[in-house]
Amino acid sequence: MPLEMTDRAVNAIRRFAQKEKNAPEAFRISVEGGGCSGMSYKVLFDKVQPQDHVFEKDGVKLVCDLKSYLFLNGTVLDWKENLMGAAFVFNNPNVTKSCSCGTSFSV
């Protein structure tokens, strides 16, 4: 299954990209060990690597390495703003358990 982005996520990525010194090639999402549930999400601007899965919406490239894709396939990246703040939200169908703050998960 592909990784997807909502319109809100695309707009947020564009806003952040405009603030970067050099025009970013892609927005990378990945998974790394850590957090109270065992795994956590990581996002950054990066170059596309040959082994990456690349997904695009309205000119915004979302990339993911092969290992992270095993945990992220089918995920929808969203952007939420409320009184508590603003952040990317990962709607990941593979998650079986997450911490109460929502920043770490297990599959």
Q: What is the number of domains present in the chain?
A: 1
Which pLDDT score, from 0 to 100, does residue 63 have? 97
Q: Is 16 in a helix, a strand, or coil?
A: helix
Digit-coded pLDDT (tens) for 40-73: 889 999 999 999 999 999 999 999 999 999 999 9
DSSP state of 103: S
Domain extent at residue 25: 4-106
Q: What pTM, to 2 d.p., does this model score?
A: 0.86
HSE-CB for 79 with a 13 A CA cutoff = 13
Sequence-ordered strand ranges (E) for 1-107: 4-5, 26-33, 39-46, 53-57, 60-64, 76-82, 85-91, 97-98, 104-106
CATH number at residue 45: 2.60.300.12
Digit-coded pLDDT (tens) for 9-33: 999 999 999 998 888 899 999 998 8
User: Which pair of structure tokens corresponds to residue 98?
Assistant: 């997450």
Which pLDDT score, from 0 to 100, does residue 106 have? 61
Which pLDDT score, from 0 to 100, does residue 35 have? 65
